[in-house]
């Protein structure tokens, strides 16, 4: 099947009918209503049974004109398929069905976990990131202030900033790493760490040295500092997302019960996810505000804010197909929650914890409810994961994966945009899950704060 398809694709590319990148990066999944036209010959769209199959595109007769297929963007904007002119013979485009709202993938089922890089152990690993530089290397973030890159079955130091990182608190340290979308050509990357004197969160940019194997600690350009009143709830996620903007998660400032009310105060950056334009920093490291940020022009609000009312969004990620932002917000005493994050929305803390009232005066109007919650029977600190878009585990495709740091349990759910359509406990592990990670193929990893890295495996 794949050989035949490959031959067809090769032929099409050779004919100039299809851009090679479009074939590799985006199996088009046109909605028939987008493709259909009221005149001329329509493309025939036939669902296929296996969601892993690439679409089959039957070439036009040599006197026909090819349809234009614009590939999906890296963040999953829908591909556009422009139908062939009406005088041409229409091609047959058989799309890959989307599980989300279209065709369901295989049902979720329990998975095992297995260790990867079995010879390696790290000191409190909290993040693992993969730049899009074609080298397919993973970079492990150690909380004390080091970044190491994985090389075969070994790891080498990439950056060491332990001299400026404060990791005295359990939730303090070097917490996040994001590679510039153009890392391949500009060698830039961004980190999130906590520092002392005063206690604060720091977002900084660094650059690699020759060979891309080390980074210069002296290349630091601080782009944002946020004072932190307490040691806990620092957030720590930093990620590039749609529009190549930089998204940063900040907790409510800490202590317990959000004593200073940061969660509901859009005049502070605490208790939020931010969206920054770092594409053209000035000499002072100043970022720009994307003009379509939701609170731009709102009196008293910080224009950096993308979403607020969050307690400690330790990990949030983007679905690489749809661009949706998924966040896991760590609860106070009762409920851990998963949120689908939309711009400008208020996720409730501390009026609500999860889907219940937290404050005595509880007006829930205008608050965004979680996609799901769990209580203390299942854990005590949620670690957000990813929507799985890999190929190793067909049953997991399109599901959001998340876990709990305290219990080691891992779950997956499918969401159709308004309700959870399927959910399962994927695995019951002994791990202290500090983070999940996603590589260039969409495959997922699980980080244990004890030092080891794991992945999922079909039950044997
Ligand atoms: Ca909430």
* pLDDT greater than 90 at residue 1: no
Which of 65-79, 203-217, 264-278 is predicted with the least confidence, judged by mean pLDDT?
65-79
Expressed in angstroms and rounded, the spacing between residue 342 Cα and the centre of ligand 1 is 13
Beta bridge partners of 423: 413
Expressed in angstroms and rounded, the spacing between residue 357 Cα and the centre of ligand 1 is 10
CB 376 within 8 A of CB 325: no
Expressed in angstroms and rounded, the spacing between residue 300 Cα and the centre of ligand 1 is 22
Q: What is the DSSP letter of 367?
A: B
Q: What is the pLDDT of residue 240?
A: 98
* pLDDT greater than 50 at residue 100: no
Residues of the chain with CATH 2.120.10.30: 111-458
Expressed in angstroms and rounded, the spacing between residue 323 Cα and the centre of ligand 1 is 21
Helix (H/G/I), strand (E/B), else coil: 27: coil
Expressed in angstroms and rounded, the spacing between residue 367 Cα and the centre of ligand 1 is 8
Residue 412 and residue 372: Cα distance in Å, rounded? 11
- 246's tokens: 């930089």
Which of 153, 207, 198 has its CA nearest to residue 180? 207
Find where tokens 């946020």 sit.
226
Expressed in angstroms and rounded, the spacing between residue 351 Cα and the centre of ligand 1 is 9
CB 275 within 8 A of CB 245: yes
Residue 233 and residue 349: Cα distance in Å, rounded? 13
pLDDT top residue among 14 and 108: 108
Listed in sequence order, the residues at least 6 apart from 113 whose beta carbon sits closer than 8 Å to its beta carbon are 410, 427, 429, 431, 446, 454, 455, 456, 457
| Length, in residues, of the chain | 460
Residue 412 and residue 141: Cα distance in Å, rounded? 25
Expressed in angstroms and rounded, the spacing between residue 154 Cα and the centre of ligand 1 is 40
Alpha helices in 82-143 (DSSP H): none
CB 403 within 8 A of CB 430: no
Which of 173, 178, 175, 176 has its CA nearest to residue 195? 173
Expressed in angstroms and rounded, the spacing between residue 262 Cα and the centre of ligand 1 is 13
Region for 344 from its dihedrals, namely left if φ exceeds 0, alpha if ψ lies in -120 to 50, beta otherwise: left
Residue 430 and residue 410: Cα distance in Å, rounded? 10
Expressed in angstroms and rounded, the spacing between residue 348 Cα and the centre of ligand 1 is 4
Q: What is the pLDDT of residue 233?
A: 96
Q: What is the pLDDT of residue 104?
A: 53
Expressed in angstroms and rounded, the spacing between residue 352 Cα and the centre of ligand 1 is 6
Expressed in angstroms and rounded, the spacing between residue 235 Cα and the centre of ligand 1 is 14
* pLDDT greater than 80 at residue 272: yes
Which of 66-70, 213-217, 238-242 is predicted with the least confidence, judged by mean pLDDT?
66-70
Find where tokens 């899950």 sit.
433
CATH top-level class of 111-458: mainly beta
Alpha helices in 234-278 (DSSP H): none
**Alpha carbons within 13 A on the beta-carbon side of 333:** 8
Beta bridge partners of 58: 92
Q: What is the mean pLDDT of residues 212-230?
A: 96
Which of 416, 409, 412 has its CA nearest to residue 401? 412
Regarding pTM above 0.85, the answer is no
Q: How large is the greatest C-alpha to C-alpha distance in the chain, in angstroms?
A: 72
Expressed in angstroms and rounded, the spacing between residue 332 Cα and the centre of ligand 1 is 11
CA 267 from centroid of its chain's CA atoms: 26
Expressed in angstroms and rounded, the spacing between residue 444 Cα and the centre of ligand 1 is 26
Expressed in angstroms and rounded, the spacing between residue 384 Cα and the centre of ligand 1 is 14
Helix (H/G/I), strand (E/B), else coil: 78: coil
């Amino acid at each position: 099947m794949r050989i035949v398809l490959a031959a067809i694709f090769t032929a099409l590319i050779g004919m100039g009918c299809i851009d090679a990148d479009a074939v590799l990066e985006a199996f088009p999944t046109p909605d028939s209503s987008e493709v259909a036209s009221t005149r001329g010959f329509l493309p025939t769209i036939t669902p296929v049974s296996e969601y892993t199959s690439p679409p089959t595109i039957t070439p036009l007769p040599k006197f026909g004109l090819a349809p234009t297929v614009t590939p999906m963007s890296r963040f999953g904007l829908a591909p556009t398929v422009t139908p062939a002119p009406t005088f041409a013979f229409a091609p047959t485009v058989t799309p890959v069905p989307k599980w989300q709202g279209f065709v369901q993938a295989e049902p979720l089922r329990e998975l095992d976990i297995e260790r990867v890089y079995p010879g390696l152990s790290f000191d409190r690993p909290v993040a693992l990131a993969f730049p899009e530089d074609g080298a397919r290397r993973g970079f492990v973030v150690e909380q004390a202030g080091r970044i190491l890159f994985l090389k075969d079955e070994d790891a080498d130091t990439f950056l060491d900033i332990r001299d400026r990182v404060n990791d005295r608190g359990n939730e303090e340290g070097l917490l996040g790493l994001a590679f510039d979308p153009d890392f391949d050509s500009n060698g830039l990357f961004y980190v999130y760490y906590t520092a002392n004197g005063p206690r604060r969160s720091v977002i900084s940019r660094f650059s690699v040295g020759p060979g891309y194997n080390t980074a210069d600690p002296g290349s630091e350009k601080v782009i944002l500092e946020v004072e932190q009143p307490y040691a806990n709830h620092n957030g720590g996620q930093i990620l590039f997302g749609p529009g190549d903007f930089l998204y940063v998660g900040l907790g409510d400032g800490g202590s317990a019960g959000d004593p200073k009310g940061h969660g509901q105060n859009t005049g502070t950056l605490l208790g939020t996810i931010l969206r920054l334009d770092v594409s053209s920093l000035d000499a002072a490291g100043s970022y720009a505000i994307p003009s379509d940020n939701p609170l731009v022009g709102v009196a008293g609000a910080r224009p950096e804010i993308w979403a607020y009312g969050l307690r400690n969004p330790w990990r949030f990620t983007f679905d690489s197909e749809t661009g949706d932002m998924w966040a896991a917000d760590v609860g106070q005493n009762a409920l851990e929650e998963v949120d689908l994050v939309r711009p400008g929305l208020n996720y409730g803390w501390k009026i609500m914890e999860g889907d219940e009232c937290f404050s005595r005066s509880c007006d829930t109007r205008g608050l965004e409810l979680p996609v799901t919650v769990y209580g203390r029977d299942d854990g005590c600190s949620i670690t957000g994961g990813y929507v799985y878009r890999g190929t190793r585990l067909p049953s997991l495709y399109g599901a959001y994966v998340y876990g709990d740091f305290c219990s080691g349990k891992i779950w997956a759910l499918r969401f159709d945009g308004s309700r959870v359509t399927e959910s399962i406990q994927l695995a019951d592990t002994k791990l202290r899950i500090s983070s999940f990670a996603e590589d260039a193929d969409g495959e997922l990893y699980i980080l244990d704060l004890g030092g080891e890295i794991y992945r999922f495996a079909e039950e044997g």
